[in-house]
């Protein structure tokens, strides 16, 4: 069975993380967000993946290649202009001649994908939306289903007075190829705003599957940090280990150097060639990616540091994100919510 991964968005709400990379390539602990999606697809038996691209398409193609190294067949479809969620999938129509799964390249989830496909088949659905229960549905599209799971109504970002369900659309779908006939060629078209209301009005058999497990997307800085820390804290059942476990919830990759008097409190991930020098204190959850140096007496708390960064002597970083090739001066202080973009000094 094929999966379509929508990876064309610009990720404007994630800036400055997405200035030099598309959102699916933002690193989530030990690998890009979309690599976690690829691993989940492999875990559930998907061997063919079609990726829809638009923004910085070459970076995604260069990283994932043709998929053969991981036993997959990956094809790419590039949009000349942004076509929206449904429009981007329509653009891949030539590859989609049987039932297929659609998932966003910025999703973080551990859903049982095979159970979702089985539900879709059992119901005889033309389209199945994967739904998730959330405590605050105001920022999502709420979906109303009957006892059989058939969708009865959509409410896009309702007020509290309109909320009659806590099941929201995750942006994960199982579709039959006939659905593509409802999507116009070469123009922007959205699943939630355009396609699904049209299918509902036409009386098509569209269903909602309420999934159990973990789901979020990394649409904002806050969601990105939460997803990173949720992986470290074991809230997400990822399909591959993030590194070697060398202490109490401390994972490392190769060639990590840790001074004997450094104090590390997990959960914590240290990438390849990271150097933690004397007197350093790191309190997790925290991520320190490849080839970063944390110099003497620096303190890090609930922070994310990308590759090739330097954290100066005595610096104090709490609740911050430090992007790639950033130089933090000695005794600098960065507090909650600070994000330092690539190549900053």
Mean pLDDT of 118-136: 92
Mean pLDDT of 297-312: 97
* Global pTM value: 0.91
pLDDT of residue 168: 82
Sheet of 244-247, strands arranged across: 244-247, 250-252, 268-270, 286-288, 304-305, 321-322, 339-340
pLDDT of residue 12: 83
Task: Please write the tens of the pLDDT for every residue from 79-120.
Answer: 988 899 999 999 999 999 999 999 999 999 999 999 999 999
Q: pLDDT at residue 332 above 60?
A: yes
How far from 19 is each of 54, 105, 145, 259, 263, CA to CA, in Å?
Answer: 15, 17, 39, 34, 34
Q: pLDDT at residue 137 above 80?
A: no
The rounded percent of the chain whose pLDDT value lies above 70 is 95
Do the beta carbons of residue 2 and residue 72 sit within 8 Å?
no
Q: pLDDT at residue 162 above 60?
A: no
Do the beta carbons of residue 321 and residue 339 sit within 8 Å?
yes
pLDDT of residue 160: 47
Mean pLDDT of 304-311: 97
Kindly report the average pLDDT of the chain as a whole number.
92
The rounded percent of the chain whose pLDDT value lies above 90 is 77
* Cβ within 8 Å of residue 297, ≥6 positions away: 278, 279, 280, 313, 314
Q: How far apart are CA 6 and CA 38, in angstroms?
A: 12
Mean pLDDT of 238-253: 89
Among 133-147, 154-168, 183-197, where is mean pLDDT lowest? 154-168
pLDDT of residue 159: 52
What is the set of domains in the chain, with CATH numbers? 2-232 (3.90.550.10), 244-340 (2.160.10.10)
Task: Please write the tens of the pLDDT for every residue from 246-269.
Answer: 888 999 999 999 999 999 998 999
Q: pLDDT at residue 161 above 60?
A: no
pLDDT of residue 64: 96
Q: pLDDT at residue 204 above 80?
A: yes
pLDDT of residue 334: 95
């Amino acid at each position: 069975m094929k999966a379509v991964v929508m990876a064309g968005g610009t990720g404007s709400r994630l800036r400055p993380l997405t200035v030099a990379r598309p959102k699916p390539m933002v690193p989530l602990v030990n690998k890009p967000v979309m690599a976690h999606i690829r691993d989940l697809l492999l875990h559930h038996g998907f061997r063919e993946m079609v990726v829809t691209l638009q923004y910085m398409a070459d970076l995604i193609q260069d990283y994932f290649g043709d998929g053969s190294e991981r036993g997959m067949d990956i094809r790419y479809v590039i949009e000349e202009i942004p076509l929206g969620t449904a429009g981007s999938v329509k653009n891949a129509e030539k590859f989609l001649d049987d039932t297929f799964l659609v998932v966003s390249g910025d999703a973080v989830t551990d859903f049982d994908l095979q159970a979702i496909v089985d539900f879709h088949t059992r119901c005889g659905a033309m389209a199945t939306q994967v739904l998730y229960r959330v405590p605050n549905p105001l920022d999502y599209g709420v979906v109303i289903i009957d006892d059989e799971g058939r969708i009865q109504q959509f409410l896009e970002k309702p007020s509290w007075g309109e909320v009659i369900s806590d099941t929201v659309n995750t942006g994960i779908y199982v579709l039959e190829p006939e659905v593509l006939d409802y999507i116009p060629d070469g123009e922007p078209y959205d699943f939630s705003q355009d396609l699904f209301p049209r299918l509902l009005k036409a009386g098509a058999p569209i269903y909602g599957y309420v999934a159990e497990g973990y789901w979020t997307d990394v649409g904002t800085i806050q969601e990105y940090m939460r997803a990173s820390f949720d992986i470290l804290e074991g809230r997400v059942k990822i399909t591959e280990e993030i590194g070697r476990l060398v202490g109490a919830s401390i994972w490392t990759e190769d060639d990590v150097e840790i001074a004997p008097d450094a104090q590390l409190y997990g959960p914590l991930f240290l990438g390849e060639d990271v150097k933690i020098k004397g007197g350093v204190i790191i309190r997790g959850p925290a991520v320190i990616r490849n080839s970063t140096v944390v110099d003497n007496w620096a303190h890090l708390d609930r922070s994310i540091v990308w590759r090739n960064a330097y954290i100066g002597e005595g610096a104090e970083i709490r609740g911050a994100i430090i992007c790639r090739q950033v130089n933090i001066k000695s005794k600098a202080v960065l507090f909650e919510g600070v994000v330092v973009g690539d190549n900053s000094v």
